[in-house]
């Protein structure tokens, strides 16, 4: 879950609690009851969690290239096959007949081409004789005879070319017929396992068209390399990079963890926006593929899986509880006195010596992230810059020092606090994360 998600959940869920607190609490004059925790160092791991399924890295769906009845089927689902192994045969009778027709048409075309070639050669010889006679003796050959002989030679030449092209067309038809006949025998395109078999002997294989997909006969997969294919929300995709390490859990193997690395991130969403019809289907998800490293067990395709993608690791960094981080409106933040300013006496008798020591600041337009730091029996709002988000803690990049004490609960108390508010500490220091009460909130 991303940092923005965690902040948003905290703010949204507690909004109702704040209203209830305003009705029930009202304060008892002893300050707001809070829990605190010292800013310390921890090893943080940022992760993106998503669900998906397991499938082979390489699999081939086999469909028919020609239509016909299946007369031979040599495999069953779950069988291991080798590349080139015979899988099934489609009735070849009509394709054999088509080959015979094409070969006969080729012979006919070749005969026609031989005849046309002979006619052209004869016409060429006649034209040559008439041309020589005309050159030898003027008046023996009329102009009409001369033109007829020349035209006849040109026509026969064109007919000879046409016959030659007819032979080429017939040869192409023979190749096509033989190719269709060869497609009645389907062999394994690779070594693997038959993971899906959708036909039985005697059924008819159908070829797909533009508007009607063909029948899927079977699927062969290489189960030696498996992948977890997960759907990641668009807000988390920028955090993931190729090569990120992952921890995958598979529902069928409870208690086991499988390790892998991100090998592919989708460049477009799984479901385009144009396909999202109702308002309840507005989530944009991207496909991320994780190659599993030495699973150690026989995995099956389509097993449900959950993956934690490790997007960042920060060893020994300053950290604050996620619950401690809050947002302050810029206008409210600007009203916090800066060190050295004169402060008017408040109803709660806050003296000028207790003014928060905050450096000069520029006007902000976005809500300011910060924490409430314990200062005696009061709290001071302190802006912080945070880095990655772990499971329960944020990395502190700037704004706090090790050993400072921050308000770490409850959600209700943190959202009610203001700079300079009087507080009453309930617990201190040795928490390891948000309490059960906060988690329920």
The residue to which tokens 């025998």 are assigned: 185
Do residues 219 and 62 lie in contact, with contact meaning Cβ atoms separated by under 8 Å?
yes
Q: What is the pLDDT of residue 305?
A: 96
Q: What is the pLDDT of residue 212?
A: 65
Q: What is the pLDDT of residue 146?
A: 87
Least Cα distance to 326 among 412, 401, 388, 387 occurs for 412
Q: What is the pLDDT of residue 366?
A: 83
The residue to which tokens 């009845």 are assigned: 69
- Indicate the fold that domain 50-56+224-312 takes in CATH: Elongation Factor Tu (Ef-tu); domain 3 (2.40.30)
- Hey, what are 355's tokens? 């003014």
The CATH class given to the 3-46+315-440 domain equals mainly beta
pLDDT in tens, the chain (441 residues): 555 555 444 444 334 333 334 433 444 457 888 999 999 999 999 999 999 999 999 999 999 999 999 999 999 999 999 999 999 999 999 999 999 999 999 999 999 999 999 999 999 999 999 988 888 877 788 889 889 999 999 999 999 999 999 999 999 999 999 999 999 999 999 999 999 999 999 999 988 766 666 678 999 999 999 999 999 999 999 999 999 999 999 999 998 999 999 999 999 998 877 666 555 557 789 999 999 999 889 999 999 999 999 999 999 999 999 999 999 888 888 888 765 454 444 444 444 444 444 444 555 578 899 999 999 889 999 999 999 999 899 999 999 999 999 999 888 888 888 888 898 888 544 444 444 444 443
Length, in residues, of the chain: 441
Q: What is the pLDDT of residue 364?
A: 56
- Hey, what are 199's tokens? 């036909």
In whole angstroms, give the CA distance from residue 381 to residue 326: 10
Q: What is the pLDDT of residue 310?
A: 95
Phi, psi (degrees; rounded to nearest 5) at 165? -65, -35
Q: What is the pLDDT of residue 28?
A: 45
Phi, psi (degrees; rounded to nearest 5) at 73? -135, 120
Q: How far is CA 85 from CA 64, 90, 220, in A?
A: 16, 15, 12
195's CB contacts (< 8 A; 6+ apart) are 56, 59, 77, 78, 219, 220, 221, 223, 300, 301
The residue to which tokens 């499971």 are assigned: 391
Q: What is the CATH number of domain 65-91+187-214?
A: 2.40.50.100
Q: Would you list the DSSP string of 362-419?
A: ---SSPEEEEEEEETTEEEEEE-EEEEE-SSEEEEEES--TT-EEEEE-HHHHHH--T
């Amino acid at each position: 879950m991303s940092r923005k998600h965690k902040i948003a959940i905290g703010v949204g869920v507690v909004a109702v609690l704040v209203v209830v607190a305003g009705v029930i609490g009202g304060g008892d004059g002893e300050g707001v009851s809070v829990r605190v925790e010292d800013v310390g160092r921890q090893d943080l791991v940022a992760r993106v969690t998503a669900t998906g399924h397991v499938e082979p890295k390489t699999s081939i769906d086999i469909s028919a290239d020609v239509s016909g009845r299946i007369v031979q089927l040599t495999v069953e689902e779950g069988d291991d096959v080798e590349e080139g192994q015979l899988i099934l045969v489609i009735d070849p009778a009509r394709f054999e007949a088509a080959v015979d027709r094409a070969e006969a048409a080729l012979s006919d075309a070749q005969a026609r081409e031989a005849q046309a070639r002979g006619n052209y050669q004869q016409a060429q010889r006649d034209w040559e004789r008439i041309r020589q006679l005309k050159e030898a003796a003027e008046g023996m050959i009329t102009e009409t005879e001369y033109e007829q002989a020349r035209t006849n030679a040109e026509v026969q030449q064109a007919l000879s070319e046409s016959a030659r092209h007819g032979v080429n067309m017939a040869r192409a038809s023979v190749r096509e017929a033989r190719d269709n006949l060869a497609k009645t025998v389907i062999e394994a395109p690779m070594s693997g396992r038959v993971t899906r078999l959708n036909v039985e002997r005697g059924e008819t294989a159908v070829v797909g068209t533009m508007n009607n997909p063909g029948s899927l006969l079977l699927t062969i997969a290489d189960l030696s390399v498996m992948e977890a294919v997960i759907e990641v929300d668009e807000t988390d995709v920028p955090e993931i990079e190729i090569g990120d390490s992952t921890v995958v859990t598979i529902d069928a193997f409870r208690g086991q963890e499988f390790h892998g690395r991100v090998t592919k991130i989708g460049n477009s969403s799984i479901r385009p926006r144009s396909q999202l019809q109702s308002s309840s289907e507005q989530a944009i998800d991207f496909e991320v593929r994780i190659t599993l490293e030495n699973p150690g067990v026989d995995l099956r395709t389509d097993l449900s899986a959950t993956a934690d993608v490790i997007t960042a690791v920060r060893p020994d960094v300053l950290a604050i509880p996620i619950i401690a981080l809050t947002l302050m409106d810029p206008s409210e933040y600007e009203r916090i006195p800066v060190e050295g300013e004169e402060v008017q006496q408040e109803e709660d008798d806050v003296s000028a010596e207790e003014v928060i020591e905050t450096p000069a600041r520029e006007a902000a337009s976005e809500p300011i992230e910060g924490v409430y730091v314990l200062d005696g029996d009061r709290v001071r709002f302190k802006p912080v810059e945070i880095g990655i988000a772990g499971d329960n803690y944020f990395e502190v990049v700037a704004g706090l020092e090790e050993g400072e004490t921050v308000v770490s609960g409850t959600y209700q108390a943190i959202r009610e606090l203001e700079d300079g508010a009087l507080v009453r500490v309930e617990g201190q220091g040795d928490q390891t994360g948000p309490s059960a009460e906060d988690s329920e909130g």
